[in-house]
Amino acid sequence: MNKLRIEHDSIGTKEIAHSSYYGIHSLRAAENFPITKQAIHSQLINSLAVIKQAAAITNYEAGLLEGTVKDAIVQASQDILDGLFHDQFIVDPIQGGAGTSMNMNANEVICNRALELLGNKKGEYHILHPNDHINAGQSTNDVIPTAGKIATIQLMQQLKQTLHTLILALEDKATEFYPILKMGRTQLQDAVPIRLGQEFHAYAIAVERCTNRLDSILQELYTVNLGGTAIGTGLNADLYYFHHIVPNLSRITHLPLQQAEDLVDGTQHVDVFVMASNAVKTCAVTLSKIASDLRLLSSGPKTGFGEITLPAKQNGSSIMPGKVNPVVPEVINQIAFNIIGNDVTIGLAAEAGQLELNAFEPIIFYKLLESIETLTNGIKTFTDNCIRGITANAKRCNQLVTSSVGIVTALCPYIGYGQAASLVKEAMTSGKTIEELALHHQLISQEELAIILNPIHMTQPGISGKVYKSNLS
């Protein structure tokens, strides 16, 4: 039978399972906030642990902790970084108190593990205390936003890697599909010809812009308010600790972290997370648009556009045999919908901050980290299970170009807009092609038409109009 220990706080006492590394503050929070029934993100747990590790080292250097105590705290924090004791973080991601429950959960787990390492029993806080030792020189109000920034940075770097892989896959398809002429469309109506490879190259460029935005946001995320304690004034932080905590944290994390120039501002305002969420949302919107394009281009297989074929990944219907759906692009759309909603939540939470603190950082980090992680996972399957396996239906593309009236635009410099519009109307009613009608009405010669409707001339600027106009007039 699991033995119990008694812990107390300013509210009263509670029984804690002796095997538990969390303490009374964590248990009260778990009872008060059974909201999502989800765990705190593992990257956020690790970020809390590395802050506690850096704090112990800095407090030791300041002469505030004995070496054995510092070593125990550092090792306990390292255990968490190595993946141990994550199940002891029992508080819900959505919680009242500006993240105090999260911070105390980390303090208690690290404290009780350190007590074990020192040869003592869990809960013997007269020897090592969660607040007095693990949280020394800190406040929830500088620990939580700093941990949130580190977690966001780590996940954004992973997101950037997956985006880079996607860009390469799109560029490969752009090269592969470059010779294939197809019909471009605006507002879902025939426009002018384009190369399939040009479309995929445009996708790659759009995704590359997403990575550039993330780079810009990362530069702002490197500025942290650690050392500011409760409201940015640094109350209860030793002067040595104040000046060295961020450099030590930077060294341990291998991130170019720097202390905010104005720690009051750094504690009051969370606008950088709004920007980070917006960059992630913008990326999701871009990818969702690409995914929707692929669904349209692959629609059919017999009655739609049918210009490309997506890799078949699973049966598409429980009733219609042989049906295959664009399930991977569809999941990208759904990820985007979720991220857009998360972005709204983050914006509202950031706006609701009051005076010296934003009390709603827990929901900000819950939704921001979810957005980054789901987008990262979505991009991986988008690249591996969709983009790399796309094939082009060149004959179908050519058939649609030949039968479209959109190619008449290339004739405008030679026969005029009005005459070209008349050809379109006649083509729509007669069923004949623009090429057939232009020759029938002797508006242009066969040789000249071959030059004007050359796929190269129709898909890049400055050739037909500048080189051949004088010859045809």
CA dist., res. 188 & res. 185, Å (int): 5
Residue in 19, 317, 430, 445 annotated catalytic: 317
Count of positions (residues) in the chain: 473
Those residues with Cβ within 8 angstroms of residue 377's Cβ, 6 or more apart along the chain or in another chain: none
Those residues with Cβ within 8 angstroms of residue 440's Cβ, 6 or more apart along the chain or in another chain: 432
Tell me whether residue 12 is exposed, middle or buried, using C-beta atoms within 10 angstroms of its C-beta: 0 to 12, 13 to 18, 19 or more.
exposed
H helices of 254-310, in order, are: 263-268, 271-297
Contact 413, 469 (CB under 8 A): yes
Q: What share of the chain is helix, strand, coil (3-state, %, to 5)?
A: 60, 5, 30
End-to-end CA distance of the chain: 99
Q: Is 358 helix (H, G, I), strand (E, B) or coil?
A: coil
Q: Is residue 317 annotated as part of the catalytic site, yes or no?
A: yes
What contacts 24+ positions apart, CB below 8 Å, involve 432-439? 433/402, 433/403, 434/405, 434/407, 434/408, 435/407, 438/411
CA dist., res. 235 & res. 232, Å (int): 8
Task: Give catalytic residue positions.
Answer: 317
